[in-house]
Amino acid sequence: MAETTNETGQSFLPQQRRKKTTPRSVIIADKVADWTIRIGGIGVIVAVFGIMVFLAQTVVPLFMGGEVQGSHTLAREESHPALMDVIDEYKTVSVSVAEDGAISAFHIATGTSLTVPPLDFGGRKVMGFNHTLNGRDMAFGFDDGTLRLAKLNMGAVLLEGDLPAGLTKLENGDMTDGSAVYSQAAAGQIRKITVSAVLEAPQQIATQGTALVAVDYRLGGTVERPEKSFVTIDANGIGRLSRSEAKSNMMTGEVTETLTSSELPGLPQGVKVARVLMNTSADAVMVADSEGTIYRYATRNFDAPQLAETVKLLPSGVSLTTMGFLIGEQSIVLGGSDGSLDVYYRLPRREGDKETADGQILVRGKVLERHKKAVVNMDASQRGKLFVTADEGGEVWVRHSTSEQVLLRLKPKDYDGAYKAVALAPRENGVLAIATSGRVFEWDISVPHPETTLKTIFGKVWYEGYSEPTYTWQSSSGTDAFEPKLSLVPLIFGTLKATIYSLLFAVPIALSAAVYTSEFVHPKVRAVVKPVMEMMASLPSVVLGFIVALILAPIVETWIGAVILATFLVPMSWLLGAHLWQLLPNPIALRYGGLPRFGLMFAVLFIAVNLAVTLGPGFERIFFAGDFKQWVNGSIGDSHRFTTLLVLPIAVGLMYFGMERFLPPRFKTWARNPNRTVAGLAEMARWVLTLTVGWGVSAVVASVLIAVGLDPRGGFLDTYVQRNTLIVGFAMGFAVIPIIYTIAEDALNSVPEHLRGASLGCGATQWQTAVLVILPTAMSGVFAGIMVGMGRAVGETMIVVMAAGNTPVLDWNLFNGLRALSANIAVEMPEAVQGGTLYRMLFLAALTLFAITFVVNTLAEMIRQRFRKRAAQL
């Protein structure tokens, strides 16, 4: 009871009840804190997991293929069969050119026709036709043997101010005056799109009356001095390569065109030419007959074209139905009447290939998914390797050459007969197909990332200009014609290479140091040594990268001989020191077994390093024929001596093991001699003997290895680059050693003291206790340390950016650089466009890193927890 009463039951104090309830403010504070902490806490946890979700969500569109956002059919009165169709940059107007020269332009959304003056062919009939990739330059071959070139102009002008009067409204704010379309552009401006065409004068190419059945035309040169190259095949099967150059007279300003022609040799009599292709630099011409035989000409020498190669690319019974370049003119797409569609590359001839006149050869790079019916039409993108193909059955497929995938399969519901032309919008956001009936089918499409599939990212891909499928990372270049090469494999390989080599360096040092700190030094020394080693972990990695790449790399390059010598000499010196130490009488060895011995180890290290520097040049002369860099890339010397040196540690190790196992007990008793000096001498003798015999054995093994063809050069040792994996490994050592060291040392140190005591009490030496009792018990903790160190090495960025040279190569060469996932992100992210393919690819790289480290760390954590449980049970 809170009330205070006296014996009589009457209160001395005025009646006053003390509150039993908690003050409101406390309750409110409690509630507020409760909710804040709950929401904040859960929020942070969600946010942290949100990272993974966000990364994944950004990556997913890479694998989504394409999407149709809308489609419609326009029934138009089209009396003239179209030769080709072009869409303008803004997907507003479609223009098609018909066989009789009529140009029908219409507003895509509504089908409203625009008036465009036709091309006047003067009654001649078009027999051969072709156009450039953007459809702006056209060539017509006529039945009378003349050729006319034409230019299609689709201008888009931004207008300031008010619209002209008398416009007819179309859709979405678009308007027309009958011949041009006005549409709303950004910032309140008006865009006016006009269409016009200019036809040049006829040029008599073939003899009068012989029709030109196939033509191709490229416009080169400069604006002031255009150079028009074209190739024509006439009905008699005579091919001609022509060039028309315009020269303007400086005085009169008069333009004169000169036409030069030369005949293409070697076309068989009566060949039925289906298609002819020429590239922009006019140094390669391909004539295809209807059976699929390609006559490839090298036309670098314009006056004397050379038939370089004749090859039949289609099986017999299949006729050629379509053929065209992709952007960059390195890929040739060939479609057959059986629905097949292949991509060919023109590559340098390799050993074993068919002999060709110009040392090049057409190679089938890709076999793409077949259509069910003959492929009749195609149109290629102007900004990538995307293209559309249409077949007789009405299917229109949007596909990509690099990724070999079909992104969209379009078929109109009301398909009614063959397509005359298909067109892909310049921004890859629309497809248009014109049927013979005059119907126009239009699809609004979205194919943001056509070049990526799981296969292109993780598998081998045959890129343009490459002699075989490769794993390549080369994300960007200046031109649209460049084929992005987005394989993560070289980057993942680079990360693994850096990780493995740095762990090879760091793990032995870190673990040895941890065992020594935990088991062999006085706790007072340990209290100093451990923080010093841990200090390494707090060094910013940018500092490590800078020192190692700019200061150390040039030194290592000059003194590479000494560095290699030191890796052998330093451990050897410690062994020598140990054997000399064993010679000391026991009392002295005991008295100075602590800090002085540790100090001596330092001294030996310094002496060995000094010795390595002094002997480095001599070592280089003996082992590497005097110049390491030339030796290592295989231009001088042999590798027998160095291979011997590499085999030596293994040989000696095996011999030691063998001696313990198989030597008669009589020999072992040497070491048990009560006189320590004698025992020590015996041990020393054994060591020297092992080394000598080991050297002999290694020499033999090395000869065998080299005879078998296992030269270390060309494998993990090859051409020396200044910023290489050795340097990276060393720098990464600074980052990784302290992590492994701390975790391993903690694990070793937390092994219960009674185990140590029991082992020593039973008469085991410190060494035996450490190796046979403590280490096995702490093994899982030590292993966890290595895993965590590995996680750090995988994700380290600045060191690899600065010290690794950043070349995405796939080799194990210790002396070559690498490009790691993390470095790649750091280098390329600043120039990646938000939402673009590269941007998402880099997110994929980040996700990969995230996944690798998350798995590695989770495993480490699980192992550690198991170890803790086991240690607690002991």
Partner 1 sequence: MEIAAAVASGAVAQNARTYHRVTDLRARGEPFTWVLGGALCLGIVMIVGFLLLVLWNGFLTFVPRPVAVVTTTAGKVSAGEVARTDTFRPAPDALAKLAPDAQEKIKKAEGFAGRTLYRIGNFDLYSEDFRWIDDNEIKSTEYPKNIVYVERQEWGPFIGTVKAITLDGKPAEGTDFSAPAVASAYSEALARGKRVREIERDEIGNVNHEVERARLAVRKAELKSGRDSQAYKDAAAHFEQLSVDSRGEYERLTAEVQRLRSINDKFTVTFAEIGGREKTVPMVNIVRAYMPNDLSFAQKVGVYFSRWGEFLISEPREANTEGGVFPAIFGTLAMTLLMVIAVAPFGVMTALYLREYAKQGRLVAFVRISVNNLAGVPSIVYGVFGLGFFAYVIGGSIDQLFYPERLPNPTFGTGGLLWASLTLALLTVPVVIVATEEALAAVPRSMREGSLACGASKWQTIRNIVMPRALPGVMTGIILAMARGAGEVAPLMLVGVVKLAPELPIDGHFPYVHLERSFMHLGFHIFDVGFQSRNSEAGKPMVFVTTVLLITLVAVMNAAAIIIRNRLKRRFVGSQF
Cα within 13 Å of Cα(860), Cβ side: 22
What is the Cα–Cα distance from 645 to 572, expressed in whole angstroms?
12
**Binding positions for partner 1, 220-239, rule CB under 8 A:** none
Quote the Cα angle for 359-298-356, to 5°: 30
**Binding positions for partner 1, 810-829, rule CB under 8 A:** 822, 825-826, 829
**Binding positions for partner 1, 536-595, rule CB under 8 A:** 536, 538-543, 545-547, 549-551, 558, 570-571, 574-575, 577-579, 581-582, 586, 590, 593-594
**Beta bridge mates, 375:** 391
Q: Which residue has the tokens 């023109």?
A: 346
Nearer to partner 1, 390 or 821 (CB): 821
Nearer to partner 1, 109 or 736 (CB): 736
Cβ contact 259:234 at 8 Å? no
Query: Does 480 contact partner 1 by CB under 8 A?
Result: no
Nearer to partner 1, 311 or 529 (CB): 529
Nearer to partner 1, 466 or 546 (CB): 546
With CB under 8 A as the contact rule, the residue among 219, 500, 509, 810 that binds partner 1 is 509
With CB under 8 A as the contact rule, the residue among 3, 34, 171, 638 that binds partner 1 is 34
Least distance CB 768 / partner 1 (angstroms): 6
Among candidates 378, 369, 482, which has minimal Cα distance to 424?
Answer: 378
**Binding positions for partner 1, 319-338, rule CB under 8 A:** none
Show contacts of 585-589: CB within 8 Å, 24+ apart.
585/676, 585/677, 586/676, 589/676
Contacts of residue 655, Cβ cutoff 8 Å, sequence gap at least 6: 690, 693, 694, 697
Contacts of residue 243, Cβ cutoff 8 Å, sequence gap at least 6: 227, 228, 229, 230, 259, 260, 261, 282, 302
Query: Does 601 contact partner 1 by CB under 8 A?
Result: yes
What is the Cα–Cα distance from 255 to 867, expressed in whole angstroms?
89
**Binding positions for partner 1, 750-789, rule CB under 8 A:** 753-754, 756-758, 760-761, 763-768, 771, 788
Which amino acid is located at 303 in the chain? D
**Beta bridge mates, 97:** 84, 103
Least distance CB 24 / partner 1 (angstroms): 12
Query: Does 510 contact partner 1 by CB under 8 A?
Result: yes
The backbone region for 65, taken as left when phi is positive above 0, alpha when psi lies in -120 to 50, beta otherwise, is: left
With CB under 8 A as the contact rule, the residue among 482, 853, 868, 871 that binds partner 1 is 853
With CB under 8 A as the contact rule, the residue among 447, 486, 794, 804 that binds partner 1 is 794
What is the Cα–Cα distance from 265 to 261, expressed in whole angstroms?
13
Query: Does 831 contact partner 1 by CB under 8 A?
Result: no
**Beta bridge mates, 246:** 257
With CB under 8 A as the contact rule, the residue among 313, 798, 814, 863 that binds partner 1 is 798
**Binding positions for partner 1, 723-742, rule CB under 8 A:** 733-734, 737, 741
Nearer to partner 1, 367 or 580 (CB): 580
What DSSP string describes 628-669? Answer: HHHHHTTSSS-SHHHHHHHHHHHHHHHHHHHHHHHS-HHHHG
Question: How many residues contact partner 1, by CB under 8 A?
Answer: 134
Nearer to partner 1, 598 or 695 (CB): 598
**Binding positions for partner 1, 670-709, rule CB under 8 A:** 671-674, 676, 679-680, 683, 687
- Strand bridging mode 320-325 / 273-278: unpaired
Binding region for partner 1 (CB under 8 A) out of 33-41, 175-183, 336-344, 639-647: 33-41
**Taking the CA atoms of the chain, what radius of gyration do you get in angstroms?**
40
Query: Does 597 contact partner 1 by CB under 8 A?
Result: yes
Least distance CB 501 / partner 1 (angstroms): 17
Least distance CB 512 / partner 1 (angstroms): 3
For helices 676-708 and 560-582, what crossing angle results, to 10°?
150
Nearer to partner 1, 109 or 794 (CB): 794
With CB under 8 A as the contact rule, the residue among 446, 695, 850, 871 that binds partner 1 is 850
What is the Cα–Cα distance from 757 to 768, expressed in whole angstroms?
12
With CB under 8 A as the contact rule, the residue among 56, 318, 533, 607 that binds partner 1 is 533
With CB under 8 A as the contact rule, the residue among 598, 695, 716, 812 that binds partner 1 is 598
Among candidates 323, 269, 270, which has minimal Cα distance to 294?
Answer: 323
Nearer to partner 1, 351 or 753 (CB): 753
Least distance CB 740 / partner 1 (angstroms): 11
Nearer to partner 1, 34 or 67 (CB): 34
Contacts of residue 57, Cβ cutoff 8 Å, sequence gap at least 6: none
Among candidates 552, 555, 551, 541, which has minimal Cα distance to 799?
Answer: 541
Least distance CB 796 / partner 1 (angstroms): 7
Cβ contact 491:847 at 8 Å? no
**Binding positions for partner 1, 39-68, rule CB under 8 A:** 40-45, 47-49, 51, 54-55, 58
Binding region for partner 1 (CB under 8 A) out of 20-28, 102-110, 349-357, 697-705: 20-28
Which three-class secondary structure string do you get for 112-123?
A: CEECCCCCCCCC
Quote the Cα angle for 249-250-252, to 5°: 65
**Binding positions for partner 1, 338-377, rule CB under 8 A:** none
Nearer to partner 1, 42 or 357 (CB): 42
Nearer to partner 1, 28 or 700 (CB): 28
Query: Does 151 contact partner 1 by CB under 8 A?
Result: no
With CB under 8 A as the contact rule, the residue among 797, 813, 816, 837 that binds partner 1 is 797
Query: Does 628 contact partner 1 by CB under 8 A?
Result: no
